[in-house]
């Protein structure tokens, strides 16, 4: 993934308004039913500003997914070691900063391709983490089903939380995910190390 050049603050603010507006509209109707006029009215942005940044609604949606993946990739690529709780702290801060978009892309109604993209990104990182932490030499073929299981379940919990309008306290969900992850890492260590 490539890091984009920093954008002007006004451009970031406009793009965020458009992303949030699209996320809100997508909670009500399908992407095919949304017009640029409807979106720009919702985001209080001029149509020409929309077209200066995006070709169409689909391009904006694709950029939303890519932006979310980039943020998660950046978290995973950090040069410092994170314990599980610290990782989830940073991830949940990212979710809080983008809660409308996260509600859309992480819910059960989300685009299945995004779920697969985020799962693959996390899977690679998860297997690398296990290899480094436990000095594992087993093949990806052996580790991948376990990584898929733990990550699909964790993303499912986060998706349910997002779909339910973040009804559970963040700290409670974070501790639950950290406990699940810690227990599963112990299982991986006992199984393969």
State pLDDT tens for residues 144-183: 999 999 999 988 888 888 878 888 898 899 889 989 998 9
Number of domains in the chain: 1
Q: Which residue range is the domain that position 91 belongs to?
A: 9-192
In a domain? residue 4: no
Phi-psi region of 185 (alpha: psi -120 to 50; beta: other; left: phi over 0): alpha
pLDDT value at position 71? 82
> What confidence tens digit (pLDDT) does each residue in 44-83 have?
999 999 999 999 999 998 898 888 888 888 877 764 456 6
In a domain? residue 3: no
In a domain? residue 39: yes
pLDDT value at position 77? 75
> What confidence tens digit (pLDDT) does each residue in 147-156 have?
999 999 988 8
> What confidence tens digit (pLDDT) does each residue in 24-45 have?
898 888 888 999 999 999 999 9
> What confidence tens digit (pLDDT) does each residue in 86-117 have?
777 777 887 777 777 777 766 655 567 778 88
Burial of 6 (0-12, 13-18, 19+ CB in 10 A): exposed
In a domain? residue 1: no
DSSP string, 28-91: HS-GGG--HHHHHHHHT--HHHHHHH-SSHHHHHHHHHHHHHHHHHHHHT-SS---HHHHHHHH
pLDDT bucket at 142, cuts 50 / 70 / 90: very high
Contact 95, 147 (CB under 8 A): no
The CATH number that applies at residue 99 is 1.10.357.10
Would you give the DSSP letter of residue 111? -
In a domain? residue 161: yes
pLDDT value at position 7? 67
Contact 163, 103 (CB under 8 A): yes
In a domain? residue 90: yes
Query: What is the rounded CA–CA span in Å between residue 121 and residue 6?
Result: 23
In a domain? residue 26: yes
- pTM summary value: 0.76
Sign of the Cα pseudo-torsion (146, 148, 150, 151, in order): positive
pLDDT value at position 43? 95
Contact 139, 57 (CB under 8 A): no
pLDDT value at position 11? 87
In this structure, what token pair is assigned to residue 109?
């109604």
In a domain? residue 154: yes
In this structure, what token pair is assigned to residue 151?
């990550």
pLDDT at 191 over 50: yes
């Amino acid at each position: 993934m490539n890091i984009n050049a920093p954008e002007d603050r006004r451009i970031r603010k406009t793009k965020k308004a458009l992303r949030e507006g699209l996320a809100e509209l997508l909670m009500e109707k399908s992407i095919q039913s949304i017009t640029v006029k409807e979106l720009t009215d919702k985001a209080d942005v001029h149509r020409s500003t929309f077209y200066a940044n995006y070709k169409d609604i689909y391009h904006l949606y694709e950029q939303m997914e890519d932006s979310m993946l980039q943020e998660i990739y950046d978290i995973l690529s950090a040069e410092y070691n994170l314990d599980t709780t610290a990782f989830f702290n940073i991830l949940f801060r990212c979710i809080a900063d983008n809660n409308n978009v996260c509600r859309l892309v992480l819910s059960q109604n989300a685009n299945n391709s995004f779920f697969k993209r985020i799962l693959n990104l996390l899977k690679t990182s998860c297997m690398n983490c296990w290899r480094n932490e436990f000095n594992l030499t087993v093949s990806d073929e052996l580790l991948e089903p376990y990584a898929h299981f733990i990550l699909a379940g964790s993303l499912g919990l986060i998706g349910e939380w997002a779909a339910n309008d973040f009804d559970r306290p963040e700290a409670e969900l974070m501790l639950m995910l950290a406990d699940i992850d810690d227990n599963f890492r112990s299982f991986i260590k006992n199984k393969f190390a």
